[in-house]
Amino acid sequence: MNEQKKAELDPSRIALSAGTRASYGLGDVSCNVVFGMITTLLTLFYTDYVGVPIATVGVVMLLSRIFDGVSDVIMGVIVSKTKSKWGMARPWILWASLPYCICAVLLFTVPHSTAMVQFIYMIVTYNLCTTVCYTAINVPYGTLSTRMTRISHERDMLAVFRMGMSPMGKILSVTLTMPLVKLFGNDQSAWIKTMSIWAVFALIMLIICFVRCKETVPLKIIPKENKPKAKKTLKSLLTNQYFWSTTILWTLTCLHTTIVGTTLPYYCKYIFGNDGYVYSMLYFLETIMLVVSAMICPLFLKKFGKRNVSLAGAILAVIAQASFFFGTKSLILAAVTILIRSIGVGQLNAVIFGMMGDAVDFGEWKSGLRQEALVFGGGSLGFKFGTGIASAVLTVMMSAAGYISSTTGSVKQPESAILMIKNIYVWGPILVWVVAVIVLILYKLDKKYKGIMDELGEREVSGEM
């Protein structure tokens, strides 16, 4: 049977083109253009350009996680119930893109007013951007990969393109933001102008993702009387051990990103003495190596599997970060550590969403329920839990250490605050990747997956599904 005939019978089983894979990857590039700023430089903007006390920033981040925990579950349910001419997940990329980009700019328009007014403004805009708009894009975006193809390897390649391309968003925005801010006047207005540029780029890429990425897996129309009850649906999700494994692993990668992203600008400013080109250089090294690492990952996937490749990467990340103890004030050692660590981190980044797709298949095999939106909703929750809780805890720790906020960023910090910044940056990634190693050692789905898919195919042929 030729490929055209196969496509006519079931287009969801046809390999995706490189252009489609790249267009899908642009969705996460866009998200990282905006969210990269939120997880790296937003805290520095709040404390050193608006003068918001770092403890207040921590409270905003912490309270926002309460709303986030609800929003991901709600969005997962909404996506699973969406029926449109564009499919189940794809239309949300279009509907939420413009509001998301507008809210991203509003994050940086904090008024110079009373502490209470600033607090209210920050918590409203932060939650509009992350809790509402980001959730409305990211949960459907993750789900979209399982709607574009039934082929596990194709989902792996979508994940590779996604995580290989996503750092480009950070390279574009984060590494160029500080030079642009200084070029535009090094004040709050300069931040607003810079963020507006990134928002336009993000919007264009989201539209391309929407246009090029089609849902080919047919929507199953289940009669109302046959739909599973909420209790059964929830039980099916919570008893899927690989849902928990992948959610924890994604949370850990986000913890790492937030710890490094939040503390690196402070580390460069107060330990290396340069938060301009030095920070941009180190962040560029990390993100570009994540791209390279993700792109070479497919060379090892078929032979070693997702679990073994990511486990080797996690171990490498621990070893690389531990080597930084030999010279925490050495810029050269910092660069070398970042390069090697990123090779390891990039392996799990490249395959985590393919692992989530496999968890969807495992859940369908185990319970008979296919829960793409809820599984990826859990992934989105893990992302925001990892970024939000980490940001909150980091700011509380820095506040407890005596960090001083200002509107000029030229205050001399106490030694206790500088020591805290150093300890967080050095120890944080080690703890994160040790936990990742433990979780990956316990992950066994790769060995079972072929048998599971064979059985699902037999059920489909026999009409059991």
Count of other CB atoms within 10 angstroms of residue 291 = 21
In a domain, 252, yes or no: yes
List, as one string, the DSSP characters of 442-455.
H--HHHHHHHHHHH
Token code pair at residue 130: 């992350």
Q: Is the pTM value of this prediction over 0.75?
A: no
Give pLDDT tens digits for 360-409.
889 888 888 878 777 877 766 666 676 777 777 888 898 889 988 876 66
Cβ proximity of 363 and 375 under 8 Å: yes
Look over the chain and give the mean of its residue pLDDT values, rounded to a whole number. 86
Provide the CATH number for the domain around residue 103.
1.20.1250.20
Is 177:276 a contact under the CB 8 Å cutoff? no
Structure tokens at 437: 């190693």
Q: What pLDDT is recorded for position 3?
A: 46
- Residue 427's pLDDT is what? 94
Per the domain annotation, does 226 fall within a domain? no
**Quick one: pLDDT at residue 171?**
80
Q: Please state the φ and ψ torsions of residue 355, each to the nearest 5 degrees.
A: -65, -35
CA separation for the pair 272, 234 (Å, rounded): 49
Domain assignment of residue 110, yes or no: yes
- Examine residue 3 and state whether it is found in any structural domain, yes or no: no
Beta bridge partners of 87: 84
**Lookup: tokens for 264:** 């690196």
Q: How many domains does the chain have?
A: 1
Quick check: is 12 in a domain?
no
- CA separation for the pair 371, 263 (Å, rounded): 36
Q: Is residue 175 part of a domain?
A: yes
Runs of H (alpha helix) within 52-149:
54-81, 90-106, 115-127, 135-148
pLDDT tens, the chain, 465 aa long: 444 554 455 566 678 899 999 999 999 999 988 888 887 788 889 988 998 988 888 888 778 776 766 787 788 889 888 888 899 999 999 999 999 999 999 999 999 889 999 999 999 999 999 889 988 998 899 889 888 987 878 888 888 888 778 878 888 887 889 889 989 999 999 999 999 999 999 999 999 999 999 988 776 655 555 556 667 777 888 889 999 999 999 889 988 988 988 888 889 988 988 767 788 888 888 888 988 888 888 888 888 999 999 999 999 999 999 999 888 889 999 999 999 999 999 999 888 888 988 998 898 888 888 787 778 777 666 666 767 777 778 888 988 899 888 766 667 889 999 999 999 999 999 999 999 999 999 999 998 888 988 888 787 667 655
| 145 in any annotated domain | yes
Domain ranges, residue 127 = 18-213+232-460
Q: How far does CA 225 lie from the centroid of its chain?
A: 37
